Amino acid sequence: MPFDLLLTGGRVIDPSQSLDAVVDVGIRGERIAEVGRNLDAAGCPDIRDIAGKYVCPGLIDLHGHWYEGNLYGIDPMICLNHGVTTAVDAGSTGYANFPEFRRTVIDQCLTDVLAFVHISFMGLHAPYAEELMDLRYARPQETAAVIAKHPDRAVGVKLRMGAMTANHGLQALDRALAAASEAKVPLMVHISSGAEERELLRRLRSGDILTHCFHGRGNSMVAETIVPEAHAARDRGVFFDVGHGCGSFSWDTAHRAFEQHFYPDTLSTDLHRYSVSEPLSVTLPQVMSKMLCIGMSLEDVVLKTTAVPARVLGREHEIGTLAPGVQADVLVFDVETGQFPFTDTHLQVRDGSRRIVPRLVIKKGQAHAPGSAAVRLRDLYESDMDVFRAIG
C-alpha cells in the first residue's frame, strides 16, 4: 500500500532507536509505517521534501497546566503550535475535579493529554490561595482511587512544596508518597522557595520526578557543589526536570549545575497563564534552545523531550519514538543560527547562537502548521498583576 504522507530528505533524530541519519519517514493512516532510505513514493498523495531540516518524534511536555477551571490553566491545543504532541498536566486537578477535567478537556483535545493528579483534592487554586495551606486538603486514599479508575490518562501524583505547604511540607510529602505508592505510580514534586530540598531528595523513590530543579530562588541542592543527596537520588533513579514556568529557571543555577556535570533528565515548560505571554512567552522549543545556549547538544535536547519523558511515563513504546507501528506524531524543525536573546525567570538575558524553530507538526498522521491552532487565553484580573509584578 502507498504511504499517505512521506517526508523525504530530512535529518531524523530519534534517540529511542539510536537513529541520527538522513532518511525518509513514511506514514500510513495514523501510524508510522516505515523509516528508511529512499522509501517508495509511488501513489503517495502528500510527499514533502524537507531536505536541510530536522525530524524527530513529536515532543512531550512533561509539565504544563491545561485545566482552565483555575487561574493557571490554558487550552492544551496551544501545544501543537510548538511541536508538542503529548502534553502532561502537572497537578492542575485533584481527585474531586479530575473526572470533569477528563470529560471536558482530555477526551476532547487533539493533543494527547496525560495528567498527574494533585494530592490536594481540588488541585491548584490561585497564586493568592495556594492549595495546601490546610493539610486536611491532602487526601491519599481518594487520590489513589481516582488514578486507579483512569489508568490510561492519570499517570502519577503531584505535590508542590514551598510556601504553598506552609510549615507542614514534609507531612504533605508523606501523604503524596502514600498515594503514589498505593496507586503504583510516580510522584512529581515541585520545589520552590521554602522547600526542604535535601530531606525531599532523601525520600524520593526510583521513578519519582523533581521538577524546577534549577529554580534559583534559594535552591539548596545546587550550591557551590551539588549536594550528596541529589547525586544519591539520581543514582536511585529519581528524574530531574526543568519545569521553566514564570519563576523556576535561573541561568546562574543551571550554569553552576552544568559546570559540575549535573544535567536535567527532562526539559519542560511549566506552561500556564502566567508563563505563556510576555515577559517570558515560554515554549518547549524555546526551553530546548536555552539548553543549547548553555552547552547541551541538539541530540541531547531531543532525547530529553522525547524518549526520556516517554520512559518517565512508562509509555516508551507508544510515544517519543518513530518506531514503525506507533502513532504518527512527528516534528519537523529548523535550527537557525544567529544571535538570539534568551531570558530566564529572573529576567536575566543570555545570547545564544542557535534556536529551534518548528516548521511542521504531524499529529496522528495529520499535518499542522505551527501557529495554526487558534487558542484564546482567559482575561487577566487585577489579582494576576501581583504575579507579573513578582516576575519583574
The domain total for the chain is: 1
Residue 85 backbone dihedrals phi, psi, to 5 degrees: -110, -15
Closest CA to 360 of 19, 132, 48: 48
* Lowest-pLDDT range of 50-59, 287-296, 382-391: 382-391
Between residues 224 and 235, which one has the greater pLDDT? 235
* pLDDT reported for residue 223: 82
Cβ neighbours, 10 Å, residue 166: 15
DSSP-based three-state secondary structure for 49: strand
Closest CA to 197 of 140, 156, 238: 238
Condensed to tens digits (0 to 9), the pLDDT of residues 243-292 reads 999 999 999 999 999 999 999 999 999 999 999 999 999 999 999 999 99
* pLDDT reported for residue 157: 99
Evaluate whether residue 374 is within a structural domain.
no
CB 132 within 8 A of CB 101: no
CB 288 within 8 A of CB 301: yes
Arithmetic mean of pLDDT over the chain: 97
Q: What is the pTM of this model?
A: 0.97
Residue 392 has pLDDT above 80, yes or no: no
Residue 80 has pLDDT above 90, yes or no: yes
Residue 390 has pLDDT above 90, yes or no: no
* pLDDT reported for residue 138: 98
* pLDDT reported for residue 76: 98
**Per the structure block, which three cell numbers stand in for 137?**
486538603
CATH number of the domain that 81 lies in?
A: 3.20.20.140
Closest CA to 12 of 56, 52, 60, 45: 56
Evaluate whether residue 96 is within a structural domain.
yes
Say if residue 42 is exposed, middle or buried (CB neighbours under 10 Å; 0-12, 13-18, 19+).
Answer: exposed
Structural domain boundaries enclosing 240: 58-312
Evaluate whether residue 73 is within a structural domain.
yes
Evaluate whether residue 284 is within a structural domain.
yes
* pLDDT reported for residue 224: 84
Closest CA to 110 of 85, 92, 129: 85
Residues of the chain with pLDDT > 70, as a percent, come to 100
Evaluate whether residue 354 is within a structural domain.
no
- Compute, in degrees rounded to 10, the torsion defined by CA atoms 182, 183, 185, 186: -50
Evaluate whether residue 38 is within a structural domain.
no
Evaluate whether residue 270 is within a structural domain.
yes
CB 54 within 8 A of CB 333: yes
Evaluate whether residue 326 is within a structural domain.
no
User: What average pLDDT does range 349-358 have in this prediction?
Assistant: 98
* pLDDT reported for residue 47: 98
DSSP-based three-state secondary structure for 44: coil
| Alpha helix (H) residue ranges in the chain | 98-104, 140-149, 169-183, 197-203, 228-236, 251-259, 284-293, 298-303, 307-312, 385-391
Alpha-carbon distance 111 to 107, whole Å? 10
Residue 48 has pLDDT above 80, yes or no: yes
